[in-house]
Every structure is written in structure tokens, then in C-alpha cells.
């Protein structure tokens, strides 16, 4: 069975479609980073899927049929999840006034020319109440269904709760399934329910929590760690994840190269992972993290600086602690708290090089590394990482950064 993916994103729907026995012939996606992820998946999974990076409005469905060696009506499934921001409450349900809103109807344009046997759409349930040009609730969704019917499809829809099917997430989504001429499709019955209604009269499995799912994953690999091998104190919600790249053997090899290793006690807080949500950086409330710098560490830093050596921080949280403790006379010994927000223009006093992972967009840590190494340099590093299929975020790959000299 042959399928075509529209608005493919990072390929989540593709996974489910393939698991259902379909061959995904092509992905159409505008975002370059998503396309890089899709291409990496094609290589990893050894698929033959064509990844087409393009504004979907510029794609000619008839030409696409020719490129895929398909006849009209031969495609089994056309599926996708158009951008949801214009219909979501978070996006203020701007509907068709949002430039992303009309993209919903690209599915109709493709269906009219390709004539697939089945259309499958996923969208936020806010589409059901989004207002159109007349200001009527549900007007856009009704128009969408009418246009599907006008080209010969019979649509069925339902709001589906992920937890109802054994997924440990209270997430509702609108699904539309449309077939040509006659629609014999029926949405499946739920398999799970809240514990309060799981009785003899309603014999369903109770909702699953994340703990149950994690327990079902089996015993983790011995190499998988939640803390660094050199962690000693409790109190941190997470490891400085750049340190997870080190094991005892690697630390021994580093020492053998003549590199001195000193330690800082960090209590990483949950705020580390919070994105910047304000329009201006000055309005962002920075989280506070605790640290302790020993006399031995302060002395090692001073000695290294005196002989012209480099101070290399492992992790952005280590860097923040060292820069927060910086004084004219060296690094201050003892326990402290820091809420410094490091952005481009910050004057670094201690750290000369940094080993760090690849960070989330809009995160304070992404701004920190941009301040440290330079905005242009960080963009180049991320571009290279995406092209080469690096793994991102907490348990991903790392990059080596050197401090960009002050202008």
C-alpha cells in the first residue's frame, strides 16, 4: 500500500503509517530542520521515501504523481497534520486570518488531483470551534468537510484522547478519515479509561502512567546513567549533561594527557530547561541555581591562569557557576547562588573553552553558548550538526567551543 505525507514535520505520523503496513513514498515539509531529521531517518531505517523540502503551496500534485510513477487514483493514503497554531487556543484561534490557517485546504487541493483512496487528517480539536469569515464557531471545519464532499469524499471525524488507547498522556486530537464514495471506516473503541470507571460494568484497562510504561522497558543498559560518574552530592534535579560523556576510563585518559581536573558542586534546577517566553530578554525571569566551589578548585583555577593555561568548563551550568563566582582576585571560594542571564555582550572572566551539548531553541542555554562562542559560529555549528545527523539535547552529542575574543 502506498502513502503520501503532507506537513510531515519530524515524521511522527510516518512512523505509525509504516507500522500499519504502508510504504511512504514521499514527505513534503517546509522546515529545513525537520527535513534534515526526515532524511536522517530515511538513511537510518533504509527507506526509499523522497523528502521534498518545499512550501506546499508551490508543489504541483500532478507533477508529483509523475515523479512517483503513480496514476490518478492509485495512491492508497494521503495523510498529514497541517499547522495547528491558527486553530489552537494557545494561538488565539486566529483561523484563516493566520497565514498558516488556509494550509488546511491544501489537503483538498492534493486530494482533488491525486484522488487517493483514503485521506487521514490530524489536528487540534480547536478546529471544531474556530471561526471563519462570518464569525461563526465551527465555520472553518464545516467548510473543510463540505469541500471534501464536493470532490467525492465521505468524511468521518472524532476527537480522540491518547490515554484512551494506552498512551500515558492526556492529549486530545481531532482525527478526520475520508474515503471516496462510501465510508465504511469506524473509529476504534477505547481500550483504557480512568480508574474510577473501570469496573465490572465497564471492563476497560485503567489509564497508564509514565511509571508503568518506564517499568515495562526492562532493565536499562549499564552504560545509561542519570548522573555523571564524578557526582558526589545529592540535591540536583538533573546532571550537567555534558559530563555524561565521561566515564572513568575517559577521565583517566584525560589525566594522562596532563590535564588537571577540578570539581564544582552543582545543584541544577528545573528552571534550566525553561524556554524564554517573553518578547524582550530583559523581562525574562532567570532561575536560580546553587553551587559550591572548594578552595582546591579555586587554587587550581588560579594556578592554571597564572601559567597561561586554559579553563575548560564541562557544561553550561558549570560555566555559569564559575562566572558567577568570578572576582578581581580570582574565583570566590564557598557556596553561592546564581541567577545570571548570559546573553551576547557578556564579559567572561574565567572560562576559556566549553564542552556542551546542543540546546533547545529559545532556551537560555542557547543564548549562553551564542554569547560565549559567537552567534555566527553557533549557527554554523548547528547547521553542521543537522547536516551530519548529530543527536541533540540532554543525551545527545556534544560540541567543543572556544571563547570568542571581546571586540
Catalytic residue (one of 34, 35, 84, 198): 84
C-alpha cell belonging to residue 135: 464569525
Q: Tell me the pairing of strands 172-180 and 153-161.
A: antiparallel
Residue 368 in any domain: the answer is yes
CA distance linking residue 386 with residue 369, whole number of Å: 17
31 and 153, same domain (yes or no): yes
d(CA 337, CA 250): 30
Do 389 and 270 belong to one domain? yes
On whether residue 121 sits in a domain, the answer given is yes
Residue 38 falls inside a structural domain: yes
Task: Please check whether residues 247 and 183 belong to one and the same domain.
Answer: no
- Sheet strand arrangement including 172-180: 50-53, 23-29, 2-6, 77-80, 118-123, 172-180, 153-161
Q: Does a structural domain hold residue 262?
A: yes
Regarding whether 268 and 152 lie in a shared domain, the answer is no
User: Is 16 inside any structural domain?
Assistant: yes
Kind plus residue range of the DSSP H or E element containing 371:
helix 364-373
Q: Are residues 138 and 283 in the same domain?
A: no
Assess if residue 218 is contained within a domain. Answer: no
Determine the angle formed by the axes of helices 139-150 and 106-114, rounding to 10 degrees: 10
Residues 189 and 264 in one domain: no
Distances (CA, A) of 241 to 152, 231, 237: 54, 12, 11
C-alpha torsion 388→394→400→405, nearest 10: 120
Residue with cell string 545543584: 267
Q: How many other β-carbons are positioned within 10 Å of the β-carbon of residue 81?
A: 21
> Does some domain include residue 212?
no
Verify whether residue 35 is a known catalytic residue: no
State whether 154 and 257 are in the same domain.
no
Query: How far apart, in whole angstroms, are the C-alpha atoms of residue 377 and residue 383?
Result: 10
Specify if 226 maps to a domain. no
Same domain, residue pair 134 and 271: no
CATH code for the domain in which residue 253 is found: 3.40.1780.10
For the chain, the C-alpha Rg in angstroms (whole number) is 26
State the total domains in the chain: 2
* 369 contacts 320 by C-beta, under 8 angstroms: no
List pLDDT tens digits, range 8-42.
Answer: 999 999 999 998 889 999 999 999 999 999 999 99
pLDDT profile of the chain (407 residues), mean per 10: 94 92 94 93 91 95 94 95 88 84 95 96 93 88 95 95 88 94 83 74 70 63 65 69 87 93 82 66 73 94 94 92 91 88 89 90 83 92 85 81 86
pLDDT at residue number 166: 85
Residues 182 and 248 in one domain: no
What is the span of the domain harbouring residue 260? 241-402
If asked whether residues 143 and 270 sit together in one domain, one would say no
Q: Does residue 49 sit in the same domain as residue 182?
A: yes
Which of 175, 195, 215 marks a domain boundary? 195
Q: Are 187 and 261 in the same domain?
A: no
Amino acid at each position: 500500500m502506498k502513502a503520501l505525507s503532507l506537513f510531515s514535520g519530524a515524521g511522527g505520523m510516518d512512523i505509525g503509517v509504516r507500522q500499519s503496513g504502508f510504504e511512504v513514498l514521499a514527505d513534503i515539509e517546509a522546515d529545513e530542520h525537520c527535513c534534515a531529521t526526515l532524511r536522517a531517518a530515511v538513511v537510518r531505517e533504509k527507506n526509499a521515501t523522497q523528502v521534498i523540502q518545499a512550501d506546499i503551496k508551490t508543489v504541483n500534485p500532478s507533477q508529483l504523481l509523475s515523479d512517483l510513477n503513480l496514476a490518478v487514483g492509485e495512491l492508497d493514503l494521503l495523510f498529514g497534520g497541517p499547522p495547528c497554531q491558527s486553530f489552537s487556543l494557545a494561538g488565539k484561534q486566529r483561523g484563516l486570518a493566520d497565514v498558516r490557517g488556509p494550509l488546511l485546504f491544501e489537503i483538498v487541493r492534493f486530494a482533488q488531483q491525486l484522488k487517493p483512496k483514503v485521506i487521514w487528517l490530524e489536528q487540534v480539536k480547536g478546529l471544531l470551534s474556530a471561526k471563519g469569515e462570518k464569525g461563526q464557531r465551527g465555520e472553518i471545519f464545516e467548510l473543510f468537510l463540505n469541500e471534501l464532499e464536493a470532490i467525492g469524499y465521505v468524511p468521518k471525524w472524532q476527537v480522540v484522547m491518547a490515554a484512551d488507547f494506552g498512551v500515558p498522556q492526556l492529549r486530545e486530537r481531532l482525527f478526520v478519515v475520508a474515503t471516496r464514495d462510501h465510508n465504511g471506516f469506524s473509529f476504534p473503541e477505547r481500550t483504557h479509561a480512568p480508574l474510577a470507571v473501570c469496573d465490572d460494568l465497564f471492563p476497560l484497562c485503567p489509564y497508564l502512567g509514565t511509571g508503568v510504561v518506564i517499568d515495562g522497558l526492562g532493565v536499562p543498559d549499564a552504560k545509561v546513567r542519570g548522573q555523571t560518574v564524578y557526582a558526589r552530592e545529592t540535591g540536583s534535579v538533573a546532571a550537567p549533561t555534558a559530563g555524561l560523556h565521561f566515564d572513568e576510563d575517559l577521565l583517566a585518559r584525560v589525566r594522562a594527557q596532563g590535564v588537571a581536573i577540578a570539581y564544582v558542586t552543582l545543584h541544577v534546577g528545573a528552571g534550566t530547561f525553561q524556554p524564554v517566553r517573553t518578547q524582550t530578554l530583559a523581562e525574562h525571569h532567570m532561575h536560580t541555581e546553587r553551587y559550591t566551589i572548594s578552595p582546591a578548585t579555586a587554587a587550581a583555577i588560579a594556578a592554571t591562569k597564572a601559567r597561561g593555561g586554559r579553563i575548560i568548563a564541562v557544561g553550561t551550568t558549570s560555566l555559569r557557576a564559575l562566572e558567577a563566582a568570578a572576582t578581581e582576585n580570582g574565583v570566590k571560594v564557598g557556596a553561592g547562588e546564581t541567577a545570571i542571564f548570559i546573553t551576547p555582550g557578556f564579559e567572561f572572566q574565567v572560562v576559556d573553552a566549553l564542552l556542551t551539548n546542543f540546546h533547545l531553541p529559545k532556551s537560555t542555554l542557547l543564548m549562553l553558548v551564542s554569547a560565549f562562542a559567537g552567534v555566527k559560529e553557533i549557527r554554523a555549528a548547528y547547521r553542521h550538526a543537522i547536516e551530519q545527523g548529530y543527536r541533540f539535547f540532554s543525551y545527545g552529542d556534544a560540541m567543543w567551543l572556544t571563547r570568542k575574543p571581546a571586540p
